[in-house]
Homo-oligomer: A and B are copies of this chain.
Amino acid sequence: MEKYTADDFRESIRALESAISKCEKAKIKLKDGSPQKKWVNRQLEAFYVALAFIKKSKKKYVREECAAALGTLELSIQKCKKMLTRFIEPGSHKTLLERRRKAFEIAVELIKREAEMNDTLKTIATRYSCRGYTDEEVGDADLAAIAEAGLQAPSGMNRQNWHIVVVKNKALIAEMESEGMRVLSEFPDKAIYNRIMSRGGKLFYNASRVALIAVKEAFPKGAELIDLGAVAQNMALAATSLGVDNCYCGLAVFCFAGSKADEFRRKLKFPEGYGCGLGVLLGYAKEPSAPHAPDKEKVTVIE
């Protein structure tokens, strides 16, 4: 669904912030009530809405504000296009204008999406795997809602062969992380280890909270993994809906692949017979990112 890249979002944020700063400066110089001042004010309102949408910031605008912003942004796009026709040669001014136009276009699409989809579809479409977290901690109420959402997943024959362990203890998280990295470093295939090292060497990407989903083997063997995916996705979507960034962490199983497995299982209070199935990282993104583009070729309809 998401056709924009993380770079598109970053560039758009820069373009909008520069447009806002320019408008804020212009505003001071313009006479109250003048058409110029009115236009600058309209633009400012629209640019702040656009920035909020692109940053996926939690501040919500009501439908009317979005509609007004949409109109102003579409007008701004036209103005940009008109100005762009005046440039024959490339140059920094032209590049700036093109970036600004693109930022407006992205914002227009995001605002339109917001209006057309229901909140669940929006959550599904905007969830992405966050691989860099700030130190900000996720609150207990959000953690409880996320875990409860996990429990609300379906399971084959309602077996519920799962157990969710929410780890808030930072020392334990660090201990698991260092054990996981140690095991990975000794793994014959170094590809995964090198990938994590190139991303900063942190298995949990500095997430302040790590939820582990423990599972028990089901019949037929492997069926518990389908249930596991459903639990994890409920948790990821609940988190996204609450503004909590998140990421599946399949590599969490490596923390349990070395000599500390039993110690961790005990410290994490896994029920007897349960092993680590998957981790779900929870926190707040260092910078907003975009979901992977889904491959629409992967749907067939049989009439």
A residues with a Cβ closer than 8 A to B are: 1, 118-121, 123-125, 127, 129, 143, 145, 147-154, 156, 158, 160, 162-169, 172, 222-223, 225-234, 236-238, 240-242, 247-248, 250, 267-269, 277-278, 291-292, 294-296, 298-303
Whose C-beta in chain B lies nearest to the C-beta of A301?
A: B166
Q: For the complex, give the distance between the alpha carbons of A267 and B127 in Å.
A: 33
Whose C-beta in chain B lies nearest to the C-beta of A122?
A: B120
A152-B291 CB under 8 A given contacts A163-B300, A238-B121: yes
Query: Are A250 and B238 closer than 8 Å at their CB atoms?
Result: no
Q: What are 19 inter-chain pairs, A to B, with CB distance below 8 A?
A: A1-B148, A124-B149, A151-B295, A154-B248, A156-B248, A160-B294, A160-B295, A162-B298, A164-B300, A165-B300, A165-B301, A225-B229, A226-B226, A226-B248, A228-B229, A229-B233, A230-B233, A233-B234, A269-B302
The listed residue (B121, B150, B248, B294) touching A151 by CB distance below 8 A is B294
* Residues of the B chain whose Cβ atoms lie less than 8 Å from the Cβ of A229: 225-233
